[in-house]
Amino acid sequence: MKQEYQSMLQAGIEKKYRVLEEEIEKDIIRRIQKAGKITSAADWQLQRYMVLGHSTEDVEAIVRQAVGGSWADTFKLYDEVIEQEYVRSKAIYEQVNAYFVPYEQNYELQQITNALIQQSNDELSNISGSLGFMVDVGGGRRVFTPLSEIYNGYLDNAITMMASGAFDYNTLIRQVAAGLAASGLRTVDYASGHSSRVDVAARRALLTGMGQLAGQISRMNGQALGTDKYEVDWHPGARPDHAKWQGRVWTWQQLVDVCGLGSGAGLLGWNCRHSYYPFLEGVSVRNYSDEWLAEMDRKEARKVPYRGKEYNAYEATQKQRQMETAMRAQREKAQMLKQGGAHPDDVLVARCKYQAMLDEYKEFSRKFKLPEQRERIYYDLRGRVAPSQRTYKEYKIAEENRGKVVIPDAKINSFFLKPGAKHAEEFFDVGYTEKDGKRLRRDILAQYNENRAVDKKELTDGAERFSIFMELGSAGKRKTFRIVWQKDSADAKPRLITGHREG
């Protein structure tokens, strides 16, 4: 950061901007090294880097560092990027010099800085306004615990980066969630007694904090334009008490009195996705007419059936959020089972259940024409959790067959997998162990298909017995087994009688 900028900014702000600069520099270098060129995203980040008071010489230094200090490679990248349609300003690459915009003339950065200060304080502490890790000490007094410094430190840096425009919202949520988890934090506690998973709390705090920051800038713009009126934007699936005032024009006082600006449950409050913009009477044109809003209200209120329940637009979005939360929890469960040394079959079932939840999420979103927001699921950075397609297909078939047949526990544990039992060695030879009862049961269920029944035989008491050949065992060891079933009456479920290697 230029010395002139350092002298103009409070120590806390300067520190936040230094962290921002370092993160932008690292991310630009990473992108160039990975792609071998100045990508569209890297070009955008270089534009935002200039806003922080840097010169084209500073930009050139970053690019040169990305290519190992080579001038030739730097110029080659410059020549290539200038020809790209996505370049926002070719001057960055064509006119390399030490000139930078003085802070007094850098109105964009001044506006961002002033908004950050109004949102928090001169040191940019707790920009999001989060109450995480605050405790009630009695007498109406609430204080922050030491953990709040770690939590708010991550949030403050993230909001500063988001406000700069150099980083996107979802990337920052993933970084904050991963950083907090690495610090040992799993949940965020509030003085109210409520507790949230760290990824949920971080997302809520960043969404709310950034929305309020945008509101500060809109307020500044309105004052500069000499207007006291603002238009609130509209989005589908708004909560009922917000749907009443979204899409309309209000005075500043009405934003407070009618829309609840400044309250947790109102405009720009907890998880609110609305914004407002200056509206100049006689100049501005409303984006949403009263007629259009009335029609959308009717459409949003309409109930749509799904699996025995009905949902309107808002209820559908809430159901979608519940599904995303449940999937994050299931991803965590699968990973913890694996890390804790659980039986591989238990881990596999947890992964398959996660995939089943993903399938339902996709089906539900398509039914209600909602965009899938899988980035909400992957904030945990746990990597791939879903099983292979083949494994999941076998799991689904097994689950479908589970209620169609009867497999007594004794047949699995006291016959097939009990050392010394008649056919136990045949199962052990193909990779099963004494502890693989669940796995063997699932493998049998996955291959049960009455259409493949052979050697059907009617018994004297009216029962029917038949066999199904199945390929059982671990990969590379599978052999053919004859699994024998019996239906004691025409409407009885087939029950497993015996099983042994065939041939």
Based on the fold, state whether residues 434 and 490 are members of the same structural domain.
Answer: yes
CA–CA dist 150, 344 (Å, integer): 36
- Angle, nearest 10°, between helix axes 344-367 and 437-446? 40
CA–CA dist 65, 43 (Å, integer): 15
Based on the fold, state whether residues 163 and 80 are members of the same structural domain.
Answer: no
Question: What are the tokens at 36?
Answer: 């071998």
Question: What are the tokens at 451?
Answer: 């259409």
**pLDDT value for 135:** 46
Based on the fold, state whether residues 278 and 210 are members of the same structural domain.
Answer: yes
Based on the fold, state whether residues 181 and 323 are members of the same structural domain.
Answer: no
Distance of CA 229 to the CA centre of its chain: 36
**Mean pLDDT calculated for residue range 342-359:** 93
- Residue where a domain stops, chosen among 292, 323, 345: 292
Based on the fold, state whether residues 7 and 92 are members of the same structural domain.
Answer: yes
Residue 303 lies in a domain: no
Based on the fold, state whether residues 487 and 357 are members of the same structural domain.
Answer: no
**pLDDT value for 166:** 85
- Residue where a domain stops, chosen among 338, 364, 387: 387
- Residue where a domain stops, chosen among 364, 387, 410: 387
Based on the fold, state whether residues 139 and 240 are members of the same structural domain.
Answer: yes
Q: For residue 4, which of 100, 107, 115 has the smallest C-alpha distance? A: 100
CA–CA dist 416, 481 (Å, integer): 12
CA–CA dist 15, 362 (Å, integer): 43
Q: For residue 450, which of 499, 479, 485 has the smallest C-alpha distance? A: 485
Question: What are the tokens at 406?
Answer: 């009867």
Q: Could you say which DSSP state residue 271 is in?
A: T
**pLDDT value for 190:** 67
Given a contact cutoff of 8 angstroms between Cβ atoms, the answer to whether 142 and 134 are in contact is yes
Given a contact cutoff of 8 angstroms between Cβ atoms, the answer to whether 274 and 212 are in contact is no
Instruction: Decide if pLDDT at 174 tops 60.
Output: yes
Distance of CA 152 to the CA centre of its chain: 20
Please provide residue 478's backbone torsions phi and psi, each rounded to the nearest 5 degrees. -60, 140
Which CA distances in Å does 147 have to 136, 143, 209, 235, 301?
A: 15, 11, 19, 36, 43
Q: Could you say which DSSP state residue 455 is in?
A: E
**pLDDT value for 31:** 92
Given a contact cutoff of 8 angstroms between Cβ atoms, the answer to whether 345 and 398 are in contact is no
Given a contact cutoff of 8 angstroms between Cβ atoms, the answer to whether 154 and 16 are in contact is no
Based on the fold, state whether residues 136 and 217 are members of the same structural domain.
Answer: yes
Residue 153 lies in a domain: yes
- Spell out the alpha helix ranges (H) of 95-146: 107-119
> What is the residue range of 161's domain?
114-292
Q: What is the pLDDT of residues 353-410, one digit of tens each?
A: 999 999 999 999 999 999 999 888 887 767 889 999 999 999 999 999 999 999 999 9
Based on the fold, state whether residues 98 and 119 are members of the same structural domain.
Answer: no
Residue 478 lies in a domain: yes
Based on the fold, state whether residues 380 and 437 are members of the same structural domain.
Answer: no
**pLDDT value for 137:** 40
pTM metric for this prediction? 0.71
Percent of the chain with pLDDT over 70: 90
Residue 170 lies in a domain: yes
Residue 397 lies in a domain: no
Instruction: Decide if pLDDT at 168 tops 90.
Output: no
**pLDDT value for 121:** 56
> Which residues, including other chains, have CB under 8 Å from residue 70's CB and lie 6 or more apart?
64
CA–CA dist 250, 125 (Å, integer): 31
Given a contact cutoff of 8 angstroms between Cβ atoms, the answer to whether 366 and 335 are in contact is no
CA–CA dist 150, 131 (Å, integer): 13
Query: For the chain, first and last CA: distance in Å?
Result: 78
Question: What are the tokens at 259?
Answer: 């829309």
Given a contact cutoff of 8 angstroms between Cβ atoms, the answer to whether 243 and 299 are in contact is no
What are 483's strand-pairing partners? 468, 499
Domain tally for the chain?
4
CA–CA dist 223, 55 (Å, integer): 32
Q: What is the pLDDT of residues 186-245, one digit of tens each?
A: 777 766 666 777 777 778 888 888 888 889 889 999 999 999 999 999 999 999 999 999
Please provide residue 364's backbone torsions phi and psi, each rounded to the nearest 5 degrees. -65, -45
Burial class of residue 29 (count of CB atoms within 10 Å of its CB; 0-12, 13-18, 19+): middle
CA–CA dist 208, 206 (Å, integer): 5
Residue 367 lies in a domain: yes
Given a contact cutoff of 8 angstroms between Cβ atoms, the answer to whether 322 and 309 are in contact is no
CA–CA dist 495, 130 (Å, integer): 58
Helix (H, G, I), strand (E, B) or coil at 280: coil
**pLDDT value for 235:** 94
Given a contact cutoff of 8 angstroms between Cβ atoms, the answer to whether 109 and 53 are in contact is yes
Based on the fold, state whether residues 74 and 139 are members of the same structural domain.
Answer: no
Looking up tokens 């694996």, which residue turns up?
338
